[in-house]
Amino acid sequence: NAGVMQNPRHLVRRRGQEARLRCSPMKGHSHVYWYRQLPEEGLKFMVYLQKENIIDESGMPKERFSAEFPKEGPSILRIQQVVRGDSAAYFCASSPSEQGATEAFFGQGTRLTVV
């Protein structure tokens, strides 16, 4: 059972371009969470998704950011018109179907650099 897979591991984008970050949860997990980690800061929650549904996007910036978790395929975090301040490590976590009491497993992250 492979762990949570994120790709790419490193992504460089010029200001104004789009960034697409992918996350494949562990097998059997239908809950996905995205977090952002800025240098020397803790992980900040962005969005919580189940298959085809956004459950909580309270941590997501209102503009330029979107996330999806389709019925088939990985979850995608999309950042449009990237700016230097978007440079960070983006982590994805997954949990099994039972919410609440279950353990979360994290991927290795995607390190986005905006130049």
Partner 1 sequence: KQEVTQIPAALSVPEGENLVLNCSFTDSAIYNLQWFRQDPGKGLTSLLLIQSSQREQTSGRLNASLDKSSGRSTLYIAASQPGDSATYLCAVRGSQGNLIFGKGTKLSVKP
Among 21, 23, 25, 35, binds partner 1 (CB under 8 A): 35
- Closer by beta carbon to partner 1, 17 or else 22: 22
What gap in Å lies between CA 31 and CA 17, rounded to an integer?
Answer: 29
Q: What are the counts of helices (DSSP H) followed by strands (DSSP E) for the chain?
A: 0, 11
Least Cα distance to 95 among 28, 1, 7 occurs for 28
CB of 106 to partner 1, least distance (A): 4
- The verdict on 33 binding partner 1 (CB under 8 A) reads yes
* Helical residues (DSSP H) of 1-115, grouped into ranges: none
Q: What letter would DSSP give residue 69?
A: -
Q: Which residues ranging from 44 to 63 are in contact with partner 1 (CB under 8 A)?
A: 44-45, 48, 55-56, 58-59
Which chain residues interact with partner 1 by CB under 8 A? 31, 33, 35, 41-45, 48, 55-56, 58-59, 91, 93, 99-101, 103-109, 111
